[in-house]
Structure formats: structure tokens, C-alpha cells
Structure 1
Amino acid sequence: MLFARFKAIYTHKFASAYSTTEEVKLAKREWAIALKGFQEPLLAYAVERTKERFAWPPTISEFLSVIQTAYKAYGLPEPRQAYMEACGCRHNPQENRWSHAAVYFAGSETGWHYLSTEDERTTRPIFEKHYTRLVDKVINGEKLVIPKPVMIEDKSAPVLDDLLNDLSKQLNLTESEIAPHLYYMYKTKGTKIRVLYRERAQEALKALGYSGHLPH
């Protein structure tokens, strides 16, 4: 596709650059190696910009430089920079101010844990595969929006406040004196640690005169 576009754009200049069938064959192989991984939308964008910048068919180096301008035109970091950004923010991805949403989604699809535990040789090709696909979406006009973190409502808070108030009245103690005994309520329900802390709290409050049963 690329050479057909160049031939149509540069006509006799293209023929002068690649005068024999063998030269075209060798050139296509080198271009294929250099452009491996780049998808159609990004290449099409680069071809359009190439027409504006070059009077003669571009070299591989020149064409790659045009591709880099495509990233900048859409506010995208180039793949290497995107990978480094994702690795640097892999521990708290939703708290980071990303240079572009495509970096976040490429990291998410690669796997934040995977980026944290495997080396660059393993993770970078996978990340760049996802990133390149997302870049194509951006160039095609798709808007990527990073989801906002969902805040989980702490439903234990009202229960804890009521319990503190009740115990304070029953035992004639301040809430600050009782609060340490109710630490277990901040632990996940059903876990062994919550059960253990509740039992200790029950015994301690019983010694203070509490005859009721603490909530599980």
C-alpha cells in the first residue's frame, strides 16, 4: 500500500528513486522491517504529511520522523516515552496525571502487576502492541476517557458512631476511651483477624461492665 501511494504521489520521481524491480523488492523489505508494528491509520497520516514536506520520495529515516510528528499532533507520547510513563506510574495508575489516556489504557491492558513484576524485554513489546492499537483509535477520532475511581461507601461509619455513643452511656466512659476497643470494625467482615479482634474487644468491654454482644 505504501509504495503504491508513493508511486501515485511522486510519479516519475519514484521511478527514478527505484529504477529496477530488484531495487523495489529490496526497498519494500527494508521498509517493512522499519515499519513493523505501525498500523494503517498512523501510516496514512504520515503519508499525508509526507506529501506536504518532501518533494521527493522520503527515506525510511525521514518517514519515521514524520510518524513522530503524528504522535505530537495528537498529544501522544512516542511509544518508548509512553512505556516509561506507564512503568513509572504502575503502582497508583488512577492517581496519576497521564500525558494521554492512551498511555493509561495501554498500561491497563498490559497489566499493572505484569509491568511491576516482569522486565522490559518481556513487557515492552506487549505494551507497545496495545499502545499502537490505541494510537490508531485516537487518530481515527475516538476519544479515550480514563474512568474515575469509584469511591466505596463506608457503611460501617454510622454503625460505629451509634455503638460508640451507646457504650459511652452504658459504661460512663468517653468515646475516646472506648474507640480503641472497636478497632476490629475497620477490618473486613468474615476475616479471621476481625473475629480475633472482636473477641478481644468483647472481653475487654465485659471487664468494664458491658453485658451486651458486639456486632460481628
Structure 2
Amino acid sequence: MYGHRWTASFGVSADQGHAWAATLAGLTGAQIANGLAGLVERGDEWPPSAPDFRKLCEGASPEALGLPSTSAAYREACRNSHPAADQRWSHPAVHHAACEVGFSELRSLPEEKSRLLFERAYAVTVRMLLAGEVLREIPKALPASVSVSTPEVGQAALAALRTRMRGVAA
């Protein structure tokens, strides 16, 4: 991509002890591909420094990954945070970020606060995707068996607790 400009600055062959190798250590193939796409998009004539390239690799926009923008994802999360919502998610990453913030917080906090929380959670989620981490699945429905507590079970537990507390007080 940079031809002689690259080789003049960094040499012809890749050296494992080179500063670039140390700086890019731990990045996934997807992250490096993202960084290369970012370089093509920028169209710079000279290669970036290794730390600048690492920032390009790690800092993908959601749209570059095929995700909704942060503002669109926030609106979707707020819409789906209502208990009566249909909860159709455009991508598991939006659901994951909404769960990290909490549906109650998305519904009840002022927009300035809930937006900041969501933006942070969504950015972390995007970084998780870039790192190849697995996000939790969107629940399809309730589990086959659900534990249901009856009033009798609750009253029995309360009576046992009262008995135990009387023993402690004596």
C-alpha cells in the first residue's frame, strides 16, 4: 500500500522483535483488517505510526461492522426497554449493550444520563466484537420450566424465618 515509503521507514522483512510487532501484539485478524480498511478510507500518503495504526484497529465505528449507529442503537434500546415492546433487535450487540445498561435505567433515567451509559456500553460491546468475544444470546422465550412460588410456599418460608429470628433474640 505504501511501497518504498514503508520499506524506507520499516524495512523489507517482518521482524518479531520490531516495535510494530510489539505494538500490534494481541490484536485479532479482524481488528487488523479493520485497521487496514481505515487506512484505505483515510488515503494517507505516508504510513501511520504503530500506535496510530493500533488505534485504527481498535476503534471501529459500529457502522463499519454492519451495526446500527450509536444513536440508532440507543433509540432501539429505549424503544425495546418498555415491557410491552415487541423487542425485535437489529443485532445482538444492541441487545447486549441495553442489558448492560439495564432496561429500567433506559426507561427511567433522564436522557442525558441513560444515553451516556448506553454509549459506553455500546462502545465496549463493539470492542468485544472486534476482539472476537462472544456476546450473550438474545433470549427467544421463557425457559420450558419456570419455578413458580405459591402463597403457601412464601408463608412457610416467612414462618421459618420468624422462628429462627425468635431463637436469635432469646
**TM-score, normalised on structure 2?**
0.53
Aligned counterpart, 1:98 = 89
Aligned counterpart, 1:189 = 150
Alpha-carbon contact 1:79-1:131 (below 8 Å) kept: yes
Alpha-carbon contact 2:93-2:126 (below 8 Å) kept: yes
> Which of 36, 54, 57 is residue 48 of structure 1 equivalent to?
36
CA distance in 2, matches of 1:154, 1:51: 52
Relative distance call for 1:113 and 1:154 in structure 2 (3 A) is closer
Could you list the per-position Cα deviations for residues 99-155 of structure 1 after superposition, in whole angstroms to 9, with x for gaps in the alignment? 111111111110101111111101111111111111111122234321333246589
1:50 Cα deviation from its structure 2 partner: 2.9
Aligned counterpart, 2:129 = 138
The answer to whether the aligner puts 1:126 opposite 2:114 as a matched pair is no
Q: What amino acid does structure 2 have at the position aligned with 1:146?
A: I
3-state secondary structure, aligned to 1:76? coil
Relative distance call for 1:50 and 1:75 in structure 2 (3 A) is closer
Correspondences of 1:1-216 after superposition (within 5 Å): 47-53=35-41, 54-56=43-45, 70-92=61-83, 95-144=86-135, 145-151=137-143, 153=145, 189-190=150-151
Alpha-carbon contact 2:77-2:94 (below 8 Å) kept: yes
1:81 Cα deviation from its structure 2 partner: 1.2
Aligned counterpart, 2:157 = none
Could you list the per-position Cα deviations for residues 1-53 of structure 1 after superposition, in whole angstroms to 9, with x for gaps in the alignment? xxxxxxx96x89xxxxxxxxxxxxxxxxxxxxxxxxxxx98986653223223
Alpha-carbon contact 1:94-1:148 (below 8 Å) kept: no
CA distance in 1, matches of 2:67, 2:105: 23
Relative distance call for 1:72 and 1:154 in structure 2 (3 A) is closer
Aligned counterpart, 1:164 = none
CA distance in 2, matches of 1:128, 1:97: 20
Relative distance call for 1:99 and 1:154 in structure 2 (3 A) is closer
CA distance in 2, matches of 1:105, 1:155: 25
Aligned counterpart, 1:182 = none
Structure 1: runs of 5 or more not aligned: 1-7, 13-39, 58-63, 157-187, 192-216
**TM-score, normalised on structure 1?**
0.43
Q: What amino acid does structure 1 have at the position aligned with 2:96?
A: F
Relative distance call for 1:86 and 1:52 in structure 2 (3 A) is same
CA distance in 2, matches of 1:71, 1:154: 36
Relative distance call for 1:128 and 1:155 in structure 2 (3 A) is closer
Compute the RMSD of aligned alpha carbons: 4.0
Which has the higher relative contact order, 1 or 2, with Cα contacts under 8 A spaced 6 or more apart? 2
Bigger helix fraction: 1
3-state secondary structure, aligned to 1:85? helix
CA distance in 1, matches of 2:147, 2:37: 56
1:78 Cα deviation from its structure 2 partner: 1.6
